[in-house]
Amino acid sequence: MQDTKALQVAVVGTGYVGLGTAIMLAYLGHQVVGLDVDQEKVEMLQRGELPIYEPHLDQLLQDSSSRLRWTTDYASAIPNADVIFICVGTPPLPGGQPNLAYVADAAQSIAQNLNGKLQVVVNKSTVPVGTGDWVARLIEEYAIDYHANRYLVVSNPEFLREGTALGDSLYPDRIVLGSDSPAGIDRLVELYQPLLDQQFEAPAYVPRPDGYTTPQLVTTSLSSAEMIKYAANAFLALKISFANEIAGLCECVDADIQEVTRGIGYDQRIGPQFLSAGAGWGGSCFGKDTAALISIGREYGYTMPILTAAVEVNQRQRQVVISKLQQHLHRLKGKRVAVLGMAFKPNTDDLRDAPAHDCIARLADLGVQVVAHDPVAMPRARQEWGHLRYQEAASAAEAMRGADAVIIMTEWDEYRQIDWSSAPRGMRNSLVIDTRHVVPDNCTMGVVERIGRRLTDPLAMQVP
Ligand code: NAD
């Protein structure tokens, strides 16, 4: 389709990052094979089905399918590839260090299938500094005939956000390429040329944002690129924890965090993003990456007090929702509470480290009957949250019926469409704990509590 010089690409790991990467590169005109060890996932993809929910990814998949194939077989994916991406998971171990076992497995399997021509192995997984060199050593160790192989290792951290992954991939702020070999960077520049020049037809369903021109290309050493990803996530996590810490003080002094963050966000040195107070950050990255940085520091005897505090604030924040409920309802045992939103953010089905998980777990421990709803993530919750005690509701209205309180944990559009001026009518008590600022300010029905605003007088609660 596009005038791209097509490269052969293998993407190892077809999770949230690998899938987006594979499909986006095929859309740009490259020939891509996506590889995963999860047979079920690969079979779904071979049938044209997606194993995750991400807006418009199904359309981009359809538009790129002639240049895409899926396999579990390294021998059919690696030998022909000019560029091989490692996109496997790096989940946290109990001490906070990232588990690099999947990266090691992938590197070994890649090594055993190199073709003797120049191939570039790109690490897109988030990994500690030094992992690129370690991957190179693993390849050296496991390659069938190491001396016949010429390969280069590049770090190309990923900055996409679930829920807006396509826009983030097609119109990134920057592309970071780290390598100690210029030839490795050159090949990646060739691969990303359509993105760097924005020389591709923007899909109608993910239009180029107004004013967007081209991304910044940032070339660095291998280790700097590895550090950039952690530093970026840590900074974003800090911003959220900062907003949450100020939110707590706002409640003490009778200020409103929404007004405060609006007031500071217009300062260009601060910016408005990631200042949204709520039940704390979640998702697969912030918790894991802050823990990883702190644990890497520990290895060097280097303390990271700012990050450590950000993590503590985040843990405390998850309790705030429960405290607000207790302040209104006092004893929670036997109460019925609706939880709206389970995914860690809207437009994804990802439940990893979702604040809703801790909220449901704590409520259930306190003897609350929890009725939960999510427009997309309920099937995944059935698989992953089997250890939690809650009932599923088919709709938000069903969850709220007869409830003593509703807690909004995820700002799905569907919840914004609810007529909040009458919705609490079917509830036993009209108490809404709105952690995501979904309920309009002019809502007149019941008591709406938000994070970062002094509690409404608990006695003022209306019973509809
Ligand atoms: P994921 O868990 O969704 O996907 C990982 C995939 O790798 C799984 O499908 C798994 O089956 C597969 N896999 C594991 N071992 C394999 C092997 N040896 N060979 C082939 N496939 C294998 O993970 P994710 O969310 O896509 O994250 C991947 C990496 O990208 C992580 O390091 C993460 O920190 C980073 N990252 C994630 C995001 C995000 O929003 N999810 C954003 C930026 C960076």
Element (H, E) at 85: strand 83-86
CA distance 25 to 6: 10
Ligand 1 contact via 410 beta carbon (within 6 Å): no
Mean pLDDT, residues 285-293 taken together: 96
Per-residue pLDDT tens over the stretch 202-238: 999 999 999 999 999 999 999 999 999 999 999 999 9
Beta partners for residue 119, in sequence order: 151
Q: Looking at ligand 1, which residue's alpha carbon is closest to its atom 1?
A: 15
Which is the closest atom of ligand 1 to the Cα of 106? 18
Map residue 277 onto helix, strand or coil.
coil
The whole-chain average pLDDT of the chain stands at 94
In DSSP notation, 98-129 reads B--HHHHHHHHHHHTT--SSEEEEEE-S---T
Burial class (CB in 10 A: 0-12, 13-18, 19+), 210: exposed
pLDDT (0 to 100) of residue 459? 56
CA distance 16 to 165: 9
Mean pLDDT, residues 315-324 taken together: 95
Map residue 25 onto helix, strand or coil.
helix
Q: In testing the pocket of ligand 1, which one of 19, 35, 36 has its CB within 8 Å of the most ligand atoms?
A: 36
Q: Which residues contact 297 (CB under 8 A, 6 or more apart)?
A: 303, 304
At 421, the pLDDT band (50, 70, 90 cuts) reads confident
The answer to whether 404 and 381 have CB atoms below 8 angstroms apart is no
Mean pLDDT, residues 48-57 taken together: 97
Stretch among 38-52, 94-108, 248-262, 417-431 having the lowest mean pLDDT: 417-431
Ligand 1 contact via 420 beta carbon (within 6 Å): no
Instruction: For residue 342, give the nearest of 372, 379, 301, 382 by alpha carbon.
Output: 372
Q: In testing the pocket of ligand 1, which one of 23, 57, 88 has its CB within 8 Å of the most ligand atoms?
A: 88
CA distance 167 to 231: 22
Which is the closest atom of ligand 1 to the Cα of 165? 40
Q: What is the residue type of 266? A: Y
Token digits of residue 457: 């007088």
Percent of all residues in the chain with a pLDDT value above 70, rounded to a whole number: 97
Residue 114: is its pLDDT beyond 50? yes
Mean pLDDT, residues 70-95 taken together: 97
Which is the closest atom of ligand 1 to the Cα of 157? 44
pLDDT (0 to 100) of residue 464? 47
10 Å Cβ neighbour count for 182? 10
pLDDT (0 to 100) of residue 423? 80
Per-residue pLDDT tens over the stretch 395-415: 999 999 999 999 999 999 999
Whether 443 sits among the annotated catalytic residues: the reply is no
Residue 458: is its pLDDT beyond 60? no
Which is the closest atom of ligand 1 to the Cα of 41? 9
Per-residue pLDDT tens over the stretch 54-77: 999 999 999 999 999 999 999 999
pLDDT (0 to 100) of residue 400? 96
Mean pLDDT, residues 242-269 taken together: 97
Q: How far is CA 355 from the centre of its chain?
A: 13
Ligand 1 contact via 36 beta carbon (within 6 Å): yes
The answer to whether 75 and 113 have CB atoms below 8 angstroms apart is yes
Distance 171 CA to ligand 1 centre (A): 21
| Strands of 431-434's sheet in order across | 391-392, 369-373, 336-340, 405-408, 431-434, 447-450
Which is the closest atom of ligand 1 to the Cα of 98? 32
Stretch among 30-39, 206-215, 426-435 having the lowest mean pLDDT: 426-435
pTM for the whole thing?
A: 0.94
Burial class (CB in 10 A: 0-12, 13-18, 19+), 216: exposed
Instruction: For residue 354, give the nearest of 395, 309, 418, 407 by alpha carbon.
Output: 407
pLDDT (0 to 100) of residue 4? 62
Per-residue pLDDT tens over the stretch 119-170: 999 999 999 999 999 999 999 999 887 666 688 999 999 999 999 999 999 9
Ligand 1 contact via 18 beta carbon (within 6 Å): yes
Distance 83 CA to ligand 1 centre (A): 18
Element (H, E) at 75: helix 74-77
Residue 457: is its pLDDT beyond 80? no
Mean pLDDT, residues 68-95 taken together: 97
Distance 87 CA to ligand 1 centre (A): 5
Mean pLDDT, residues 433-443 taken together: 91
Beta partners for residue 71, in sequence order: 35
pLDDT (0 to 100) of residue 227? 97
Distance 360 CA to ligand 1 centre (A): 26
Residue 455: is its pLDDT beyond 80? no
| Cα radius of gyration (the chain) | 24
Element (H, E) at 402: none
The answer to whether 85 and 192 have CB atoms below 8 angstroms apart is no
In angstroms, the Cα distances linking 226 to 87, 91, 130, 405 are 14, 16, 8, 45
pLDDT (0 to 100) of residue 325? 95
**One CATH from 3.20.20.10, 3.20.20.80, 3.40.50.720, 3.40.228.10 for 8-214:** 3.40.50.720
Domain 230-309 CATH assignment equals 1.10.3720.10: no
Map residue 70 onto helix, strand or coil.
strand
Ligand 1 contact via 233 beta carbon (within 6 Å): no
pLDDT (0 to 100) of residue 116? 84
CA distance 22 to 40: 18
Ligand 1 contact via 105 beta carbon (within 6 Å): yes
Question: According to CATH, where is 3.40.50.720 located in the chain?
Answer: 8-214, 318-460
Which is the closest atom of ligand 1 to the Cα of 126? 32
Strands of 183-234, DSSP E: 216-220
CATH superfamily of 318-460: NAD(P)-binding Rossmann-like Domain (3.40.50.720)
Percent of all residues in the chain with a pLDDT value above 90, rounded to a whole number: 89
At 397, phi and psi to the nearest 5? -60, -40
Distance 18 CA to ligand 1 centre (A): 7
Ligand 1 contact via 345 beta carbon (within 6 Å): no
CA distance 86 to 352: 21
Q: Which of 87, 250, 285, 359 is catalytic?
A: 285
Stretch among 206-210, 293-297, 417-421, 424-428 having the lowest mean pLDDT: 424-428
